[in-house]
Structure formats: structure tokens, C-alpha cells
Structure 1
């Protein structure tokens, strides 16, 4: 399923004219690309659930949190997101790329992936997918894109 999400994301970002394609046409395109029906359905549901998270009615886990909330991860979240991934999410909050709501959206979407553990590179893609789909986060998306695609070529102090 994650491969389908990456495929869709790369094609949406590279060809914004395809953003509003309907589910049937999208399913046919994904079948032609070699993906299986079950995985296609799961990926489309994952994206639909991402869109639903933007509604405050559908995101009660964000209610009551402030900009200075400390996130305590559940045992299940800690298994799926190792210390490196959790540290990266904290870093993104500290540099204001993620806020409380988008952090929770990222964690929610990660937990819905079928993988038992998420590596940092996959987490970065999920963050980009979330930021791409949240109105008003264009600047944060561009900054995240730079973090993912720009090669580090210096000394970290």
C-alpha cells in the first residue's frame, strides 16, 4: 500500500493536472501500473481518511492540546515509530514545520500503514503527504520537500 501512496504522491506533485482525477480512473491507472485491487482500495481509503482528518469534527484527538503540548507516545506508536522517528517529529515541531494538529495527522496516518515499523525515510514521505493535503501549509510543505530532497553538504555544528 505504501508503494501506491508514493506512486500517487510523486505523480500528483509532478503533474498537478491529475490532482482531481476520479477514483475509477485512478484505480484503472494504478492497475495498469501493476498494483493489486486490494492494495489500491487500501491506499485510496488511506487518502480519504487523510482528507477527513482536516475536519475538526473528525479529529477529536487534537482538542484541548496547546502549542506547547508534550506528546507522549503509546506503546504501539513507540514500536512503529522508533526513537529516531519520534525525534524527527519533535524536530519538525521545534522548527515550526509541524504544529500539534499536523503532527497528530502524521501519527494517525503512520499508524494506519500496514508496515510494523516505519523507517525515517518513509516517515518523511508521510509528513510531506500530510502537509501537501492541508490547506495553508504550502510553505511548510516546501520546507519539508527541501529537507527530503536537498543533500546535506556541510558540517553540522
Structure 2
């Protein structure tokens, strides 16, 4: 079993988790961690929350999707990775990434993360360019 969290600055994580419920139902199992508000107002508190999540997982895999690569939430989650072999952190969360990860039938968490991140990258498209030149593939450089 795996434990999946979305961690963000402010309420972004809650919004993403609520959107998942609209798309695939309430039983998706992803939980939000909203930093710098409510009970988590400092980086130290955030790191304690991540540590508590790992302890609660009792050795099972913990996957933390964070909002911003290099941001304080991501850095705090990364410190947790350094302490535990069963923790995985993925930066740059979006709905496509979460959906692909949750619905993937890969055998391992690492395989699911690799699949989901590759698929999510392909879903980031500048639509104006596609509409103006349908043969142009998003992401191509002149």
C-alpha cells in the first residue's frame, strides 16, 4: 500500500485534492498538506508533519507531490527523503500527474512516478500554437 499526499504553499493542495474527487471520486486516498497556514506556520512544523506521515505509514511507501521545485515545501519534503528509503517526492504537481500516477498499473512506486511524470510533461501544451499550426508539436523549438 502507498500513502499519497499533495503538499503546497497555502490551499493549493486542498484544491487539487478536491478536483481529484470530482474526476475520480472521493476514494482516491490523496490527502492535502497545506503549509504556512493553520497549524503549519513554519518550515520546522512542516518537516515534523512530514515525519509524522512517514511514522503513520509504518514502513509503507509515502509519495509526496509538491507544488514548486526548489520551494520551501519541496525542500522540506526532500529532507524527509534523505531520512527514509520509503519516501518519494515529486515536484510540480498538477492534475494530469496525479491522475496518471493514481490510475497507473505499474508494479512499483518508482515505475508509476516515472510513467506519470513523462505523461504529464506531454500534457503541457501551448494551445494557441497548436491551433495556429496544427502540424507543429507543442514544445518544438524553431
TM-score, with normalisation over the residues of structure 2?
0.30
Which one has the bigger strand percentage? 2
Which one has the bigger helix percentage? 1
TM-score, with normalisation over the residues of structure 1?
0.28
